[in-house]
Amino acid sequence: MKCNVCNHHFSYGEKLKLVWRMTFNNEIQCPDCKKTYYISQKSLSVSYLILLAAQFILLMTINLLDVSVGGLFLITALMLVIIVFTFPFLIKIVNEPDGLLERQFQEMENKKKMGQR
């Protein structure tokens, strides 16, 4: 994705750093012009769904196969590496917060502003 203001391209490395330092509001700033962007709630949901599926697969592997402790650590480490390094490909950056709560807060703010006029 590119910045709408200065056309800065958000690199894989910048998205990878974003995964590690997610804040409550999931904001990212363009390093050139400082415009604020947000992580799409849909892409965040898909990422969490993948994490949940990976945990399920790990639990099924442990229960169905006779896996040693060393094998368990190896499988866990491999899954963790794959998930962490694929997250930046799944993240979509949008101009405005797109979650349900954000829309409700925006509507409340707009009603409040209309009432003050």
pTM passes above 0.75: no
Burial of 81 (0-12, 13-18, 19+ CB in 10 A): exposed
d(CA 95, CA 97): 7
CA distances from 91 to 49, 84, 97 (A): 13, 12, 14
Structure confidence by residue, pLDDT tens digits, 41-88: 888 788 888 888 888 888 887 778 877 888 888 888 888 888 888 888
Please calculate the CA angle 27-31-37 and round it to the nearest 5 degrees. Answer: 25
Q: For all residues of the chain together, what is the average pLDDT?
A: 80
d(CA 31, CA 46): 26
